[in-house]
A and B are shown apart, each in its own frame.
Chain A
C-alpha cells in the first residue's frame, strides 16, 4: 500500500501547459512517482502531448514519445518488444492516452496489443470528449453532455449514446489486470498503478479526468466533481484480475445524479425529464453490476 511519506518529491512531469485544475497533471505526476525514472511514456496526439512537449520545453523528465493518434497500443508493443529483444529489463512502458485516443481511433491498436499479451501499462485519462481539439464528443462522452459536435438544441439534449464501457471491453480480452480509477481517490489510483507495476503483460487503468474547460466548472472543483461522480454512481472504482472483478467502493446510498450534473455547464440544458432518463440509465447499469459482480448482494 502506498504511503505518501514514502513517495518521492521528485516531479517527473512538471511545468506543463494544461488548463488550471486539469486532472491530467495529477494523473501523470502520481503514475510516474510510482513507476519511477526508468519509464518510457507514449502519448498520442492529445491534450497530454500538446501541453508537455512544446520545443524546446519538455515537461516530462523521463523519455517520452509523442505518437500518432491511432497507434498508442502498437507503439507500446514495439517498445516492449524492442527492449525484450535487447535484453533490457526493469523498464516500464507506459501509455498515457485520452478517451478518444483509446476508445475510438486507438481501440484497434490497443486491442491488438492486449490480445498479444505485450508488456506495458496503459492509462486512459478520460475527460469524456476530444478536449485538445475543442470539446468534440467521443464514444466516452456521457448521455446528455453538450459538446461542440453533439450540441444541445431545440431538437437535441446533447450526446445521445451512453458511455462505451472500456473496462468491460478489456475484461472481454481476459487482460491480466484492468481497473477503473479516479484521481479524487489518489491513493486508490496509486495502489492500482503499484499493483499493475508488479504484473507481467498488458495492464489497463481507466481513470476519470474531469476537464474544467470542457465540462464547465471552476478550476478548484475538479476533485469535488470526481467525488460526486462516484457518489452518484456515474463512475465506479473496480479492479479485474484472475477472471474476477472486485468493486473497490460501492456507495451505500446513491446520491441523485442531479447533484453530479448541476455544477457542470455541459449538463445545464438538461430538463428534469432528461435527468430522469440519465438516472434510469444509471440504475440499470448498477443492476447489471450487482448481477454480474456483486452476486452476494
Chain B
C-alpha cells in the first residue's frame, strides 16, 4: 500500500526541541480518520472493470491503484460513499461499520 503511514510523532519536550517557529515536517500523519465512518466501501472485483474512476474521484485518495484488488486504506476512508455511488459497474457497496 503506497499510502502515507501514521508515524509516532516525537513531541518537543523542551524549548530547545521546538521547531524554529510554527512549522513542522510535511506529510506527518499522527492519527487515523477511521473513527468518522459509519459505513465502509467493499469492492467486488468480479464486477469491477478497473476503470479507476473511484480512485480519481475519492476525496481521501485511499484506494490503492497499484494493488490488484484496489485495496482501501481503512485508516483514512471516511465512508462517504461517493465511490459506490459513482461506480459505473456498481461494483462497490457500502457496508455498515462493524458488520
* Complex-state Cα separation, A16 to B61, whole angstroms: 10
Return chain B residues, CB-CB under 8 Å to A222.
Answer: 59, 80, 82
The answer, yes or no, to whether A29 is at the interface (CB within 8 Å) is: yes
* Complex-state Cα separation, A218 to B81, whole angstroms: 9
Q: Are A4 and B56 in contact (CB under 8 A)?
A: yes
Binary A-proximity of B62-94 (CB < 8 A = 1, otherwise 0)? 001110000000011011111011100000001
Return chain B residues, CB-CB under 8 Å to A20.
Answer: 36, 59, 78-80
Nearest CB to that of B86 among chain A residues? A223
Nearest CB to that of B63 among chain A residues? A9
Q: Determine which of B66, B78, B79, B84 lies in contact with A9 in the assembled complex, contact meaning CB atoms within 8 Å.
A: B66
Q: Are B85 and A221 in contact (CB under 8 A)?
A: yes
The answer, yes or no, to whether A30 is at the interface (CB within 8 Å) is: yes
The answer, yes or no, to whether A63 is at the interface (CB within 8 Å) is: yes
Q: Are B85 and A223 in contact (CB under 8 A)?
A: yes
The answer, yes or no, to whether A122 is at the interface (CB within 8 Å) is: no
Binary A-proximity of B39-62 (CB < 8 A = 1, otherwise 0)? 000000000000010011111110
Given A4-B56, A10-B2, A14-B4, CB of A220 within 8 Å of CB of B82: yes
The answer, yes or no, to whether A86 is at the interface (CB within 8 Å) is: no
The answer, yes or no, to whether B29 is at the interface (CB within 8 Å) is: yes
Q: Are B58 and A26 in contact (CB under 8 A)?
A: yes
* Complex-state Cα separation, A190 to B61, whole angstroms: 15
* Complex-state Cα separation, A57 to B5, whole angstroms: 12
Interface of chain A residues 184 through 208 with chain B (CB within 8 A): 186-187
The answer, yes or no, to whether A17 is at the interface (CB within 8 Å) is: yes
Q: How many A-B residue pairs have CB under 8 A?
A: 110
Residue of B3, B61, B84 most packed against chain A (CB within 10 A): B61
Q: Are A13 and B29 in contact (CB under 8 A)?
A: no
Nearest CB to that of A219 among chain B residues? B80
Q: Determine which of B55, B60, B64, B81 lies in contact with A25 in the assembled complex, contact meaning CB atoms within 8 Å.
A: B60
The answer, yes or no, to whether B33 is at the interface (CB within 8 Å) is: yes
The answer, yes or no, to whether B20 is at the interface (CB within 8 Å) is: no
The answer, yes or no, to whether A58 is at the interface (CB within 8 Å) is: yes
Given A15-B4, A26-B58, CB of A58 within 8 Å of CB of B27: yes
Return chain B residues, CB-CB under 8 Å to A218.
Answer: 81
Q: Are B29 and A15 in contact (CB under 8 A)?
A: yes
Given A4-B56, A57-B31, CB of A223 within 8 Å of CB of B26: no
Return chain B residues, CB-CB under 8 Å to A24.
Answer: 59
Return chain B residues, CB-CB under 8 Å to A143.
Answer: none
Return chain A residues, CB-CB under 8 Å to B58.
Answer: 25-26, 29
Residue of B26, B52, B81 most packed against chain A (CB within 10 A): B26
Q: Are B24 and A58 in contact (CB under 8 A)?
A: yes
Nearest CB to that of A183 among chain B residues? B57
The answer, yes or no, to whether B14 is at the interface (CB within 8 Å) is: no
Known: A15-B75, A58-B25. 11 other contacts (CB 8 A): A14-B27, A16-B60, A20-B80, A21-B59, A21-B80, A21-B81, A24-B59, A29-B58, A56-B30, A58-B27, A220-B94
15 sampled A-B residue pairs with Cβ under 8 A: A4-B52, A9-B2, A11-B61, A13-B61, A17-B33, A25-B59, A29-B58, A30-B56, A56-B24, A58-B24, A58-B26, A61-B26, A187-B56, A212-B80, A220-B82
